[in-house]
Amino acid sequence: MKRRDSLKAIALTAISSGVLLQSCDANRKETAATPVKTSGIDRHPSELVRDQKLLAEKFFDDHEMNTIKVLIDIIIPKDETSGSATDAGVHDFIEFIVKDMPRHQLPMRGGLKWLDVQCLKRHNKTFIDSSSEQQLALVDEIAYPDKAKPEMKQGVTFFNLLRDLTATGFFTSQMGLKDLGYAGNTPNRWNGVPQDVLDQYGLYYDERTLKESVQWDTSE
């Protein structure tokens, strides 16, 4: 069954980075989010209970969330095709998914702190208070795993995770799906690969396949 294998394919490892300073903890406030209607898909009662509980919790504090918003728009900015990650609500997805998958919590929280500590050491400012040039200079040092210096390893690990969550959040949003050009999830009649695509790859349906496969009267 393919889903089983695709789940394995997307397994990711996250190494928790050391949390060095407590400087931002004062900003962390526990405020309950307004309960939101869960999804419109079939739910077992025990799932509804869990989803409501997760939605009522808040994980990231305001400073962390503001940092996430800056970072995810650096990862996926607005371009001529579609909007940015925050335009697509990716930050809300990230807030939910770390509550749903607690394994992401420490790598995310610790990674954000690591980032701030780097900025504090360099400019005596947090990441979001740093200039755009300073922000991008640091991102450049953690965004390319093969080029990054060993002492940036914790930042690379954090950025890999954040890039994954950002891409997933964006391209599973309505905006992202449209950008991608996904054309399915709608009733249709599958009548094979379009001819121009077959031609492009030098492929064709043999006579037996054409004869035996399901087909429809085009006048229907």
Partner 1 sequence: MPFQIKENSNQYDVCIVGSGAGGGMAAYVLTQAGLKVVVLEAGPWYDPAKNVTQLKWPWESLRRGAGTTFRPFGDFDAAYGGWEMEGEPYTRVPGTQFDWFRSRMLGGRTNHWGRISLRFGPKDFKGKSRDGLGEDWPIGYDDVAPYYDKVDDLIGVFGSKEGIPNEPDGKFLPPPKPRLHELIIKEAASKQNIPVIPSRLSILTKKINEDRGACFYCAQCNRGCTVYGDFSSSSCLIKPATKTNNLDVIVNAMVREVLTDESGKATGVSYLAKDDLQEYQIKAKVVVLAASACESARLLLNSKSKTHPNGLANSSNVVGKYLHDSTGAAIGGVLPKLFGRTRYNEDGVGGMHVYTPWWLDNKKLNFPRGYHIEYWGGMGMPGYGFGFGIQGLNGRFPDRNGTQKSGGGYGAALKDDYRYYWGANVGMAGRGEAIALESNYCEIDPNGTVDKFGIPVLRFNYKWSDHEVQQAKHMQETFQEMMHNMGAVITWGIAGPENNYGLEAPGRIIHEVGTTRMGNDPKRSVVNKFNQAHDCKNLFVVDGGPFVSQADKNPTWTILALSWRASDYIIEQFKQQNL
Long-range Cβ pairs for the range 69-76 (8 Å, 24+): 70/127, 70/128, 70/135, 71/127, 71/139, 71/162, 71/166, 72/162, 72/166, 72/169, 74/135, 74/136, 74/139, 75/162, 75/163, 75/166, 75/167, 76/166, 76/167, 76/170
In the bound state with partner 1, the residue whose beta carbon lies nearer, of 19 and 54, is 54
Contact between 84 and 73 (Cβ < 8 Å): yes
User: Cβ of residue 22: shortest distance to partner 1, in angstroms?
Assistant: 29
Task: Report in angstroms how near the CB of residue 126 gets to partner 1 at its nearest.
Answer: 19
Closest approach of partner 1 to the CB of residue 153, in Å: 13
Judge whether 141 and 149 are in contact, CB under 8 Å: yes
The least distance separating partner 1 from the CB of residue 152, rounded to whole angstroms, comes to: 12
Whichever of 20 and 83 has its CB closer to partner 1, that residue is: 83
Residue closer to partner 1 by CB (options 151, 212) is: 212
Question: How far apart (Å, rounded) are the C-alpha atoms in residues 42 and 27?
Answer: 38
- Give 22 or 206: the residue with its C-beta nearer to partner 1: 206
Min. distance of Cβ 119 from partner 1 in angstroms? 17
Closest distance to partner 1 from the beta carbon of 30 (Å): 21
Closest C-alpha to 134, from 149, 151, 121: 121
Please say which residue, 131 or 191, places its beta carbon nearer to partner 1. Answer: 191
Residue 121 or 178: which CB sits closer to partner 1? Answer: 178
